Chains A and B, each alone.
Chain A
Amino acid sequence: MSDDPVTRFKAPVRLDYTVTAGSVTADFLREILKGRLVGRRCPDCRCVYLPPRSACPTCGVITTEQIEVGPNGTVTTFSVIRFPFEGQVLEPPYACAHVLVDGTDTPLLHIVGNCDVDDMRMGMRVRAVWAEELKPTLASVRYFEPNGEPDVTYDSFSGHV
């Protein structure tokens, strides 16, 4: 045993779950296997949710209509990760962004690739880049990359930030 004072200790937290997708998320993931992004629309307020939700949190009604969206979208906001941390999958620096996929009303949290992090901008236009092998996970979209279209104004997406 050491004689040094005890000044810190490890206090890890670990919870092992089995997640069951549920019917709405399962439908979403099956569409991903076909290379399609499919959200759901609220019949009341017409909001399109991606990932889809089984009920509209604003109106409290069941969403019924599935609607294919994307593959283009707009970066509404972003964060550049420059520091390594435990369990990190990507090599920093890289950009996490809220991508408002065209046809949806809720931004999706994802990665922006094929773009220098110093070129990241709110309002930049991007498109989904799919993995070669599609699996039932949102990671089948490898990242979003700039699609070459001009930036859009903040006012055009300020209601979805």
Chain B
Amino acid sequence: MELTSPFTLEYAYKRSLGPVLSRFFTALRDGRLEGVRTATGRVLFPPLEYDPDTGEDVGEPVEVGPGGVVTAWTAAPPPGEAWVLVRLDGADTAMLHRFTGDPASLETGLRVTARLAEQRVGFITDIAGFEVEA
């Protein structure tokens, strides 16, 4: 007879954010989408703490979006979830997030917009998802 057992692997992490991500999540909770500008002028959204090209510190915050363009996407068969890489207006990099519209409408280049959660706490789910731009 086979022996089986439930097994739960769980880590109750708390993450300290540091200055750059603290600013990002504080702005997000307050309803603003803020990337950061690098020394070479690129805008990273979501922000990174260092310029991945040069390793230098990143600079001032830059408000981006809420509209953007889908650069890549994937969707599980209905009623599954759909996920998109979105480059927000004003940003040079894309972020991964949920797509809450009709997956059948997904295509690269689709214009979408971020829908913010009504109750925001300073977490990435403060963006409830992306939907097709009106």
Contacts and interface: CB of A to CB of B under 8 A. Distances in A.
Contact of A12 (B6, B10, B17, B30): B10
Interface stretch (B21-29, B58-66, B73-81, B91-99): B21-29
Contacts, number: 83
Q: How large is the interface on A (under 10, 10 to 19, 20 to 34, 35 or more residues)?
A: 20 to 34
B15 A12 contact: no
Given A6-B22, A7-B22, A9-B123, A15 B3 contact: no
A26 B3 contact: yes
Nearest to A21: B3
Interface residues of B, number: 28
Given A1-B120, A12-B11, A20 B17 contact: no
Contacts of B14: 8-11
Nearest to A30: B3
A30 to B, nearest CB: 8
Interface in B10-64: 10-17, 22-23, 25-26, 28-30
24 contacts: A1-B29, A5-B22, A6-B29, A7-B16, A8-B16, A9-B15, A9-B122, A9-B123, A10-B14, A11-B14, A11-B15, A12-B11, A12-B12, A13-B9, A14-B11, A15-B9, A17-B7, A18-B4, A19-B4, A20-B2, A21-B3, A21-B4, A87-B10, A136-B3
Given A6-B28, A12-B10, A86-B12, 12 more contacts: A6-B25, A8-B14, A9-B121, A10-B12, A12-B11, A13-B9, A14-B8, A14-B11, A15-B10, A17-B9, A18-B6, A26-B3
